[in-house]
Chains A and B, each alone.
Chain A
Amino acid sequence: MQQVLNGLVVGSMYALIALGYTMVYGILQIINFAHGEVMMIGAMVTISAINLLIGAGVHLPGPLMLICGLIIALPITMALGWLIERIAYRPLRHAPRLAPLITAIGISIFLQQVAVLIWKSNPRSFPDILSHEPIDVMGASVTGVQIAIILLALVIMLGLLLLVEKTKLGRAMRAVAMNPPVANLMGVNANRVISLTFVLGSALAAVAGVMWAANYGLANPTMGFTPGLKAFTAAVLGGIGNLGGAVVGGLLLGLIESLGTGYLVPSEYRDVFAFLALVLVLILRPSGLMGERVAERA
């Protein structure tokens, strides 16, 4: 039971990050490898913001402080997402697909080093504002933060699905995903839709980063790399481009990791096990577990 919970918590965080990957991929068919770094910036800014608030003598209940920190961090990461798209991807929209992949890696290294310059390279501890007292659930212990992570991942996924399926913006997104030039001809401002997708994806990354930092109690400039890679794996596992798939893939990956290391293989093989699952899925179902026809990606 405890291992299942562990898996769900880690998996939900993977899912939150994977949603960002998958949204961008769904629309542009590019993989935004800087996503993990946006997550890191989100976490670092939130930590700085909360420390600033505490320094200024603001004392609110923990969760409220967290939300205040997020409110400061969100616009910054959203602006960052917008900038990344503008600088690194838009000029290369018609270039071969390898080019944006390389700029993505470039941006990710750049952001990491900028973070080292601003926050130094040692890990920052998350301000001690949230209760880490374990709550007993059917013989397994979880913390409030961990429950919030699981709920948040589900709520955000549902919210995104509603956005894509029911709103005007969602329809525009789907149109751009199908065929950008035609969508443009039909009066959809494709550039604006793509920018918005990046902004939204970055906001999700920031939320994921904050939850990650709150759960593990620390953040550092290189924290984005491994979760980024894992979330990418989760997105592919679930079928990249598919929102539900990202969540399913994330949860599955988390469960595979924790149950695998808990019961099947020695803990050194955790990553081997996770990526083995990816290889198997790719061999048996190349489009991922929930991969659909290209036209329905959103």
Chain B
Amino acid sequence: MNKTRVLMLATALVLAACSKQGANNATPTIKIGHVAPITGDQGHLGKDNENGAQLAIEELNAQGVMIGGKKVTFELIKEDDQHDPKQAPIVAQRFVDAQVAGVIGHLNSGTTIPASSIYHAAGIPQISPSATNPVYTHQGFNTAFRVIANDIAQGAALGKFVASQLKQGRVAIIDDQSAYGKGLADEFEKAAKANGIEIIAREAGDDKTTDFSAILTKIKALKPDMIFYGGMDAQAGPLASQMKKLGITARIIGGDGFQTPEFIKLAGDNAEGQYASQPGSAKDKMPGYAEFDKKYRARFNLEIQNYAPFTYDAVQVMVAAMKKADSTEPAKYLPLLPATDYNGVTGNIKFDANGDLQNGAVTVYQVVNGQWQSVATIAAAAPSP
């Protein structure tokens, strides 16, 4: 009993100290949270996101941003959700407790969605650079935004592409049962059927599967023209290799989850000829991509994996709204986010009523001579309800 009381007193004191410090700070430091899987088999993607955000923060600090008549310094609070839906709300709560002004993240739809209700309850704006599952922005949360086309657009574009450009009629679908993979596969299935494609099988592994031999053997017997995979590169790589081993000649097509250099590394020769899409314009057609790529390489000495330009833009969009509101308080700048009109690295960013990206294009890429090359850019379908 006594111990508990001491503990409570101590906690109260610490809390008091914290809030005081926040009020008295002369040169205010504004905390922005970034979260992605930094460890685990998607660590390379998560780190890529984090680097994109870090680059934006460093540039903003170097430029010097004036808000409320004072020069403010931004600080990126980095967290790791291990692409685990159970971990995401815990990280979200830590951000809320740390009183961040806004959150950039999460990377995966499976983590973004459960975390979004916590940010919403706390009134903290959240911009995901890469979560594409439609549900995220369709929960009625005014705090949820994304700077990437959602999977309704991506699935529709892929369905159209397979039917009209590749002219394939029999497609088998495999997904990883994650919110992203399954969601994208569902949207693709709808669009494919609408375009007259026959879906001959619907199978699933999970986001740790490395052995697809049983699934592929089953599919091989059905003689597919193409295999759609809804999932990430750590699974798509072995999937491509195992198709070769089983003598399946059909090509793989999928979404942004494996449109990465890592996929080519993992699948080796078997990556050749495979297709994957990426929301947004083709990288070589993104207005600021070449310059961003140069800056990124100079700062981190790494190749961009995938979403770094999107996290960079997400930070810029958030700070632009803060500048316009002349405040870093979530309650003050949040109402200005929906009116965003920002020309970023990835293109023009405007939100629709849900917080989805307006006019998001989707680009389909193919591996040619061990490199991803854009094959077609498809304008997104009209935003869905």
Contact = CB atoms under 8 A, between A and B. Distances in A.
Interface of A: 2-3, 6-7, 9-10, 113, 116, 120-123, 125, 128, 132, 134, 141-143, 146, 216-218, 220, 222-223, 225-226, 257-258, 261-262, 266-268, 270-271
B69 interface: no
Given A3-B217, A134-B247, 10 more contacts: A3-B218, A113-B39, A120-B44, A121-B41, A123-B234, A134-B246, A226-B208, A257-B214, A261-B214, A268-B204
Contacts, number: 104
B41 A222 contact: yes
Interface residues of chain B: helix, strand, loop or mixed (majority) = helix
A11 to B, nearest CB: 11
B215 A267 contact: yes
Q: Which of A9, A113, A125, A262 has the most CB of B within 10 A?
A: A125
A125 B265 contact: yes
A257 B214 CA distance: 8
15 contacts: A2-B246, A120-B43, A120-B44, A121-B38, A125-B237, A134-B247, A216-B241, A217-B238, A220-B234, A226-B208, A258-B213, A258-B214, A258-B217, A267-B205, A268-B177
Given A121-B41, A121-B43, A218 B266 contact: yes
Enumerate the 7 nearest inter-chain pairs by beta-carbon distance, A residue then B residue, closest first. A121-B43, A122-B44, A6-B213, A258-B214, A267-B203, A268-B204, A2-B217
B232 to A, nearest CB: 10
Interface string B35-58: 000111111100000000000000
B266 A123 contact: yes
A266 B44 contact: no
Interface residues of B, number: 37
B214 A217 contact: no
Q: Which of A218, A222, A257, A268 has the most CB of B within 10 A?
A: A218
A116 B39 CA distance: 7
Interface in B217-266: 217-218, 220, 234, 237-238, 241-242, 244-247, 262, 265-266
B303 to A, nearest CB: 12
B335 interface: no
A270 B213 CA distance: 12
A256 to B, nearest CB: 11
B22 interface: no
B140 interface: no
B204 A223 contact: no
Interface residues of chain A: helix, strand, loop or mixed (majority) = helix
A10 B213 contact: yes
Contacts of B246: 2, 134, 141
B247 A121 contact: no
A116 to B, nearest CB: 6
Nearest to B237: A218
B213 A266 contact: no
Contact of A218 (B40, B215, B238, B244): B238
Q: Which of B234, B237, B245, B268 has the most CB of A within 10 A?
A: B245
A223 to B, nearest CB: 7
B39 A121 contact: yes
B59 interface: no
B210 to A, nearest CB: 5
B215 A132 contact: no
B224 to A, nearest CB: 15
B268 A125 contact: yes
Contacts of A268: 177, 203-204, 206
Contacts of B238: 216-218
A270 B265 contact: no
Given A123-B262, A262-B214, A220 B268 contact: no
Contacts of B206: 268, 271
B211 interface: yes
A238 B214 CA distance: 23
A113 B177 CA distance: 26
A129 to B, nearest CB: 11
Contact of B247 (A122, A141, A226, A267): A141
A122 B262 contact: yes
Contacts of A121: 38-44
Contacts of A141: 245-247
